Structure 1
């Protein structure tokens, strides 16, 4: 009987060794696969970061352009307001002349000259 135990024991040991060896191979394969996946993810993250940098730069460029356009629009509005004021003064000068109010005509003409001076 002792010889039977001796014969079965090495087989069990060999079986355990084989299972461990297979488990090690599987673990190594998983590790290599995970390492490869991590490298791929890292590359993808770099692409994403670069894309985000480009988008950020484009947004900054658009914001600067918007600010410039706001300034130009504000300038156009101011010019339009000044033109409206000058036209109103000219109309009042014509009315004052028609009605014979020369002092008022002179005063409005002086005011119009002052409005024209800055440009």
Structure 2
């Protein structure tokens, strides 16, 4: 397979390997090979353009997903803040109701000094 083709000179004094001569291959064979090679190159270039477009589409999709994720994360933070605020308000309401109930009990039991202390606590 790895044969070195030799081309003889006119004088037959010495022989040069084909890859060192001006025409290594016959012209029609060289043209066919160049056509094949050029076809492969064109195919690779078009494939590279397609791949480049696909990469741009992927990057755009990733950007959109990132934006959507950030929007969802922002909504999550907002909902968490609102939930915490509602929980705090609910706890404050429960405490105020408990104080009011204790004030009523103190008044029923004629404990006016305790009712006055609880009323002051309720104001703050």
TM-score range normalised by the length of the shorter chain: 0.7 to 0.9
Shift of 1:113: 1.0
Q: Could you state the TM-score of these two structures normalised by the residue count of structure 2?
A: 0.77
Deviating runs (4+, > 4 A) in structure 1?
none
**For residue 34 of structure 1, what is the aligned residue in structure 2?**
44
Q: Which has the higher helix share?
A: 1
Structure 2 spans left out of the alignment, 5+ residues: 1-22
What is the count of residue pairs matched by the alignment? 101
Q: Which has the higher strand share?
A: 2
Structure 1 spans left out of the alignment, 5+ residues: 1-12, 115-119
**For residue 103 of structure 1, what is the aligned residue in structure 2?**
113
Task: Calculate the aligned-residue CA RMSD, in Å.
Answer: 1.3
- Deviation per CA, 1:65-88, whole angstroms, max 9, x where unpaired? 111111100100000000000000
Larger relative CO (CA 8 A, sep 6+): 1 or 2? 1
1:1-119 alignment, distance < 5 Å: 16-114=26-124
